[in-house]
């Protein structure tokens, strides 16, 4: 069942979204070779708890940390660890979900660690562009498949691949709500292809891989990696569909993007 949020509810989600963006920005400010993913996870935890938020990924189905931090060929759901240290040239995906006063926000960003290869830099640019295209398609009168198509064509026209096993989602009082927001078009037309209506709130989250769309899950039961171990980027915003156009809820206080 899809929920349609009132302007008041959307403002509550924006509060959650600002905390999400602020937490991701803390990681960006602290990012350097040698820092461990656990240190970054604890920065996220402290930032969110100091503002009265609840960390939605903590113990979600048993997830053992506060955020998902995924390095290089890790696509999503990387587990922060004390001994996992970043190196110059890595890329790091930071995914944070927060609930405050009953409403949720969810966003992700992939950052370069120091100087990265041209290949990595291009992947980050395309991944970000895919998110922007998906957001631009999130307009009243469009359908979910229009968002999917915009993202997929952006990735594939750049020679990259979108992950199909994981998708974006509705979000509101729960982290994961209807509808699903795939980053690709189904081979058969979608049986259920909802029209975008005022008040729908979507977590749009392209996962873009250089070499293959195929992924596998590591023995830790969480970390999703590209099958060919090629690099992967993940960009996500929580976006409200509104009469005047898409409204990004996971921006920093003042309206800037993270990074
Ligand atoms: Mg999400």
Residue numbers of the domain that contains 217: 7-248
**In this structure, is residue 112 part of a structural domain?**
yes
**In this structure, is residue 259 part of a structural domain?**
no
Alpha-carbon span 42 to 223, nearest angstrom: 19
Under 8 Å between Cβ of 53 and 98: yes
The alpha carbon of 96 and the centre of ligand 1 are apart by a number of angstroms equal to 8
For 24, 135, 169, 182, the CA distances from 257, given in Å and listed in that order, are 10, 14, 21, 23
The alpha carbon of 169 and the centre of ligand 1 are apart by a number of angstroms equal to 7
Give the angle 159-163-168 at the CA atoms, nearest 5°. 125
**In this structure, is residue 131 part of a structural domain?**
yes
Tally of domains in the chain: 1
Q: In the numeric block, which tokens belong to residue 75?
A: 């696509």
Q: Count CB atoms within 10 A of the CB of residue 232.
A: 30
Under 8 Å between Cβ of 24 and 57: no
The alpha carbon of 203 and the centre of ligand 1 are apart by a number of angstroms equal to 5
For 46, 137, 203, the CA distances from 130, given in Å and listed in that order, are 31, 11, 14
pTM value is 0.97
**In this structure, is residue 255 part of a structural domain?**
no
The alpha carbon of 236 and the centre of ligand 1 are apart by a number of angstroms equal to 7
Closest to 90 measured CA to CA, from 73, 70, 110, 72: 72
What residues does the ion ligand 1 have nearby, CB within 5 Å? 106, 203
Alpha-carbon span 176 to 172, nearest angstrom: 8
CATH at 126: 3.90.230.10
The alpha carbon of 136 and the centre of ligand 1 are apart by a number of angstroms equal to 18
The alpha carbon of 182 and the centre of ligand 1 are apart by a number of angstroms equal to 12
Q: What phi-psi label fits residue 156: left (phi over 0), alpha (psi between -120 and 50 degrees) or beta?
A: alpha
**In this structure, is residue 241 part of a structural domain?**
yes
Closest to 207 measured CA to CA, from 248, 164, 170: 164
Assign 229 to helix, strand or coil: coil
Q: What is the pLDDT along the chain (259 residues), one digit of tens a residue?
A: 999 999 999 999 999 999 999 999 999 999 999 999 999 999 999 999 999 999 999 999 999 999 999 999 999 999 999 999 999 999 999 999 999 999 999 999 999 999 999 999 999 999 999 999 999 999 999 999 999 999 999 999 999 999 999 999 999 999 999 999 999 998 776 678 999 999 999 999 999 999 999 999 999 999 999 999 999 999 999 999 999 999 999 999 999 999 9
**In this structure, is residue 2 part of a structural domain?**
no
The alpha carbon of 167 and the centre of ligand 1 are apart by a number of angstroms equal to 8
The alpha carbon of 174 and the centre of ligand 1 are apart by a number of angstroms equal to 11
Alpha-carbon span 169 to 148, nearest angstrom: 12
**In this structure, is residue 1 part of a structural domain?**
no
**In this structure, is residue 229 part of a structural domain?**
yes
């Amino acid at each position: 069942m899809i929920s349609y949020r009132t302007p008041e509810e959307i403002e509550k989600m924006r509060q959650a979204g600002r905390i999400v963006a602020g937490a991701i920005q803390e990681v960006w400010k602290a990012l350097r070779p040698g820092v461990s993913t656990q240190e970054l996870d604890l920065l996220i935890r402290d930032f969110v708890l100091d503002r009265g938020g609840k960390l939605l990924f903590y113990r979600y189905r048993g997830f053992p940390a506060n955020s998902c931090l995924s390095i290089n060929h890790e696509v999503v759901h990387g587990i922060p660890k004390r001994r996992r240290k970043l190196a110059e040239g890595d890329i790091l995906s930071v995914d944070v979900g927060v609930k405050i006063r009953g409403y949720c926000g969810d966003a992700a960003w992939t950052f370069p660690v120091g100087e990265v290869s041209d290949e990595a830099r291009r992947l980050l640019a395309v991944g970000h562009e895919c998110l922007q295209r998906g957001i631009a398609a999130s307009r009243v009168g469009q359908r979910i498949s229009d968002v999917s198509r915009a993202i997929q064509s952006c990735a594939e026209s750049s020679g990259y691949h979108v992950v199909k096993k994981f998708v974006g989602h509705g979000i509101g009082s729960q982290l994961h709500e209807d509808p699903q927001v795939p980053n690709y078009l189904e081979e058969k037309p979608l049986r259920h292809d909802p029209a975008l209506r005022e008040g729908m709130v979507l977590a749009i989250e392209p996962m873009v891989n250089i070499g293959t769309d195929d992924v596998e899950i590591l023995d830790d039961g969480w970390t999703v990696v590209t099958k060919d171990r090629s690099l992967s980027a993940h960009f996500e915003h929580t976006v409200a569909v509104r009469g005047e156009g898409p409204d990004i809820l996971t921006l920093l206080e003042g309206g800037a993007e993270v990074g």
